Amino acid sequence: MAQQGGRQGVVHGTVAAGYEAVRGEFEAAVASEPADHSAQLAAYVHGERVVDLWTGPDTDGDTLFAVYSSTKGAAFLATALLLQDGVLDPDRAVADYWPEFGAAGKAAVTLRQLLSHQAGVIGLADGRFSTAELADDAVLAARLAGQPPFWQPGAAFGYHALVIGALVGEVVRRATGQRLAEVYEERIRAPYEIDLFLGLPEEHEHRFRTSLPMQPTPRQQAALDALPRGPHSLASIAFNRPSDLVEWPNHRKVRALGQASGGGVGSARGLARMYAAAGSDVDGLPPLLKPETLAEVARAHSVGRDLVTGIHQAFALGFQAICHTQYPYLGAGTFGHDGAAGSQAFADPRDGFSYAYTRRRHAFPGGPAPENERLVRAVHRAVTGAV
Amino acid sequence: MAQQGGRQGVVHGTVAAGYEAVRGEFEAAVASEPADHSAQLAAYVHGERVVDLWTGPDTDGDTLFAVYSSTKGAAFLATALLLQDGVLDPDRAVADYWPEFGAAGKAAVTLRQLLSHQAGVIGLADGRFSTAELADDAVLAARLAGQPPFWQPGAAFGYHALVIGALVGEVVRRATGQRLAEVYEERIRAPYEIDLFLGLPEEHEHRFRTSLPMQPTPRQQAALDALPRGPHSLASIAFNRPSDLVEWPNHRKVRALGQASGGGVGSARGLARMYAAAGSDVDGLPPLLKPETLAEVARAHSVGRDLVTGIHQAFALGFQAICHTQYPYLGAGTFGHDGAAGSQAFADPRDGFSYAYTRRRHAFPGGPAPENERLVRAVHRAVTGAV
Amino acid sequence: MAQQGGRQGVVHGTVAAGYEAVRGEFEAAVASEPADHSAQLAAYVHGERVVDLWTGPDTDGDTLFAVYSSTKGAAFLATALLLQDGVLDPDRAVADYWPEFGAAGKAAVTLRQLLSHQAGVIGLADGRFSTAELADDAVLAARLAGQPPFWQPGAAFGYHALVIGALVGEVVRRATGQRLAEVYEERIRAPYEIDLFLGLPEEHEHRFRTSLPMQPTPRQQAALDALPRGPHSLASIAFNRPSDLVEWPNHRKVRALGQASGGGVGSARGLARMYAAAGSDVDGLPPLLKPETLAEVARAHSVGRDLVTGIHQAFALGFQAICHTQYPYLGAGTFGHDGAAGSQAFADPRDGFSYAYTRRRHAFPGGPAPENERLVRAVHRAVTGAV
């Protein structure tokens, strides 16, 4: 397939009047990347798309990437609807919905604690999940239910990187009979026409571009190599090491299942539209969440040094509350989720905008790519006039 | 009005025998400030004043400055008396005293959580307070009661910079029929003759000197400018930005109302005497607090990274527990409060002393002025002989 | 007594095949120490000793050192047995077992909170313990029972350096009629033939070598001197300053009593064997703890900045959970305890090994000696093949 539009590093797409500086910042970010860099940037303000940019070979605004943990945004937005409906009560014990989960010292763990990464059920105590198992939330939930927690539930928190969607999803399944991906599809993706899939239909496969591995510089590689690794460390358990997470979404089966922690496939357009719909009218459709739901699911429940990643982190009800960490200038109540290839996506309802950035090749050092710092700031400036 | 006593940078006042080094340290601190620097330093040991120093044009030991958040020391000492009397129960829900506060997910917030900055009600969700509104705790309380919290109450804490006094004050008003400022006036300021006012009477106005703005160096200004700001960030909400807090206490109405979070006016003499009276006989008057009350209100309830300020902080029941943060060498159970112009004031009951420092011009970067580090250490050394 | 085996810096003892690199690392660590450096290193893998090394004058594998807080490993392993038996319930109030402890705001403190250093009863509110008092857990418990806590119990944690063993020990005594040291002796030390004593019998005295003071370089001494100290600071209270902790275990009476927080005497062989026995068969004897007990007592209950030491710390039920702090590459669920002379000892059940290092002379800056970093990494590499 040929590049749509030509030379390397060229930026395509449009911005609304007043957002020219965002385009400039995106161009500058692209210029410092290798020639094959593929990425997308989108933003909505009060329900209108104001930024719609992309770059890279075989890439346009409709291209779909593996968004890894940015998938969680979709999963927890669906969960928020069930909280809003009263179908789920965050202060009930998980074991009330899912009795098997109550084993081994977890009987009192609430759904609120589970959603905010306090439960301590981060991965397999013995062995590792296979690529196929890792794609199937039902398998993950069944294998994890009976395990003791890796820390005292409620006393600390740590990123349940690959399994939080399975655990919350099992609660959803017990309460509703539906998979989390089905709730998302029926109530969010289909009616709002959002280009982010938990379970990619065959007919959209032609728009998917495989995930590509990080290309660290020698200095970056040395930094990665210097990190001491252990086969049974908390991080190895949480990230199911050793397993090739770069190749994982490149399997059709993984994409088909739409695992709720990281199996989603979408575009920046899709992510930005989803977060716009969370709290704003979009194309005449009403906001998904009422203000009080928005306030509750977005507020920080777990703040501090994450036991798994070792970094300063803030989790709301499933979402990352990034206004308490990387982006203190964003509006209070900003919520979203980054992803392992470098994506970042969030809603800032108080400032009235949503942001999404995706990229194809994994960025050093993992998690939100460094270029998000300049891009988020540029969008925020354009929206608010802040300096 | 002419300077009392002459040349710039001259230090006036007295120290008791054994406190000469404190005077030297104050002189050294003054020497590094601009010519118009006005400041006061006072300390009590076991109920006796041992340090009484001042410097600057139009300034003497009886001069009154805006003490900003050092006001909270007075407000929470009055609150401590009500806790001691059993009029307030720290473990009751705030909503038991003040039903309107129970709205929007705050029904279970206890007075203990509110006092230790865990409630998450830091400012207006929509819009900003006017200068006049900000001066009136009754207005603040009424506007904030129904709001959802900005984080999950009890799960984290952040500095309720401008409103904690209003929120606690409303509890006091519901429980006693009195304003917090009235409780302070009747039970503390008047009987103990303390030169710190929540509501400055007209007859003391001649002693007040207006607050002056920070004069950052170009390098300091650059550091301030580099901080990314957002109109709806947690910090902007908590500090009611944009609003001119330097000019705020320069309005007579603000001084007259004595807003409990930051509207107090006083001298270092007054602050040091108040903290001396908290736990010691002063001029034959009994200590305000019993040892068990002193232990309870001074002990840390919230420790860690403050969600609003982003700095490592420790709060007791309203007071800052600075022995856990800036001053780990001070006695366990040290409690006090700094202020935005640079003031610092506290009691260290275990070492038997109190300390107060005030200044007229706001110090870079805000909060306790850097010179407190050397001054606190000098007083502590003189009192304890520690090196 | 003459050195066993000759020249300074020589390393004696044996390693199993595959552990040669550990010997090399130990030799390298020894080479950077003064000529009189005495130390021991031992490790078990799946119940078999694979490292057994020592160095220094008057030192061999059977030499006994004061292990300071590594003593706590023995005390809390004995406590874990009582938890496993159901004799102690971690979620009961301490005051249920020990009514006097419930005074002064501590009625609701649970055994779980006490074990994880959350109770806030770190030392004497007034005065200091004498050397003899500090050796007697019964005296410590009686003196501390009625005190108010130094922070709000459960709201924070701090290292109860010298008294945690006395407080937990009093609970054990009330519940069982036995001293913690007796439980340890009967159920762990004697049957498993472990060379670590809480209460050193006269007949083993000939193997004991006195504790020697730190020998800081001038630069290190300057760093120590620069730390501001206060007579009533939290750290001074917790470490019973001023008192000579280096000389403390050199008194026969201290060694005889086996104070449970720091009065233990043992070898690296003993410590490594004890931690091996916690979760593995050792010489045909069954593991001391069932997997579910091991999971519970080893999991982190208190994580963050320690109020007493000011460093990032993680406590499980009495043990340090060092996989959350210094050694993130170790297996999740690693538990152990370091000591003031520089010792470090732990079990990593998930990786299947235990580690112990002891030294005679206190290491700068106190706590686990810096050489543990290379030694732990070397043992972990040899066991797991991790790089």
Per the CB < 8 A criterion, the answer to whether C67 and C264 are in contact is: yes
Which pLDDT band, with edges at 50, 70 and 90, does C9 fall under? Answer: confident
**To the nearest whole angstrom, how far is the Cα of C373 from the nearest Cα of chain B?**
27
- For residue C7, the model assigns a pLDDT of 60
- For residue C1, the model assigns a pLDDT of 35
CB pairs under 8 A between A and B: 76
CATH no., domain B11-71+195-227+264-285+297-384: 3.40.710.10
| ipTM, 2 dp | 0.95
- For residue B3, the model assigns a pLDDT of 41
Q: Radius of gyration of chain B from Cα atoms? A: 20
Interval A112-155: pLDDT, tens: 999 999 999 999 999 999 999 999 999 999 999 999 999 999 99
Distance, CA of B198 to CA of B190 (rounded, Å): 11
Q: Is a pLDDT exceeding 80 seen at residue B387?
A: no
Q: DSSP 3-state assignment of C123?
A: coil
- State whether A228 and C332 contact (CB < 8 Å): no
- For residue B70, the model assigns a pLDDT of 98
The secondary structure of C6-41, three-state, reads CCCCCEEEEECCCCHHHHHHHHHHHHCCCCCCCEEE
Q: Is a pLDDT exceeding 60 seen at residue B366?
A: yes
Which of C320, C323, C377 would best serve as a mutation to test chain A binding (most A beta carbons within 10 A)? C323
**Stretch 174-213 of chain B: residues touching chain C, C-beta under 8 Å:** none
Average pLDDT, chain B: 96
Residue whose pair of structure tokens reads 């004697």 in the numeric block: C190
Q: Is a pLDDT exceeding 60 seen at residue C5?
A: no
- For residue C4, the model assigns a pLDDT of 44
Q: Map out the domains of chain C as residue ranges.
A: 1-387
Please list, in sequence order, all residues whose beta carbon lies within 8 angstroms of the beta carbon of residue A357, skipping any fewer than 6 positions away: A39, A40, A41, A42, A268, A342, A343, A344, A345, A369, A371, A372, A375
Q: DSSP 3-state assignment of B348?
A: strand
- A318 close to B (CB below 8 A): no
Residue whose pair of structure tokens reads 């593929």 in the numeric block: A38
DSSP assignment, residue A319?
A: S
Which pLDDT band, with edges at 50, 70 and 90, does B121 fall under? Answer: very high
- What is the DSSP secondary-structure string of B26-64? HHHHHHTS-TT--EEEEEEETTEEEEEEEESTT--TT-B
CB pairs under 8 A between A and C: 75
Q: Is a pLDDT exceeding 70 seen at residue C383?
A: yes
pTM: 0.96
Residue type, C262: G
- For residue A297, the model assigns a pLDDT of 98
- State whether B155 and A302 contact (CB < 8 Å): yes
Interval A57-109: pLDDT, tens: 999 999 999 999 999 999 999 999 999 999 999 999 999 999 999 999 999 99
- For residue B7, the model assigns a pLDDT of 59
A6-19 average pLDDT score: 88
Q: Is a pLDDT exceeding 70 seen at residue A50?
A: yes
Q: What does the longest C-alpha to C-alpha distance in chain C come to?
A: 59
Interval B67-99: pLDDT, tens: 999 999 999 999 999 999 999 999 999 999 999
- Residues of A within 8 A of C384 (CB-CB) are 230-232
**Count of Cβ atoms closer than 10 Å to residue C268 Cβ:** 32
CATH no., domain C1-387: 3.40.710.10
Closest CA to B345 of B266, B275, B249: B275
The secondary structure of B224-244, three-state, reads HHHCCCCCCCHHHHHCCCCCC
Closest CA in chain A for residue B236 = A329
A265-294 average pLDDT score: 97
Sheet arrangement for strand B11-15: B11-15, B48-55, B39-45, B353-359, B344-348, B335-338
Interval B237-292: pLDDT, tens: 999 999 899 999 999 999 999 999 999 999 999 999 999 999 999 999 999 999 99
Which pLDDT band, with edges at 50, 70 and 90, does B342 fall under? Answer: very high
Q: Is a pLDDT exceeding 80 seen at residue A169?
A: yes
- B148 close to C (CB below 8 A): no
C95-113 average pLDDT score: 98
Q: Is a pLDDT exceeding 80 seen at residue C314?
A: yes
Structure-token pair, residue C110: 């649970």
C373-379 average pLDDT score: 97
B143-158 average pLDDT score: 98
Distance, CA of B193 to CA of C379 (rounded, Å): 68
- Residues of A within 8 A of B151 (CB-CB) are 299-301, 303, 324
Sequence-ordered strand ranges (E) for chain C: 11-15, 39-45, 48-55, 65-66, 196-197, 265-266, 302-305, 312-315, 335-338, 344-348, 353-359
Interval C14-29: pLDDT, tens: 999 999 999 999 999 9
Interval C319-346: pLDDT, tens: 999 999 999 999 999 999 999 999 999 9
- For residue A278, the model assigns a pLDDT of 98
Q: Is a pLDDT exceeding 50 seen at residue A223?
A: yes
Distance, CA of C111 to CA of C117 (rounded, Å): 10
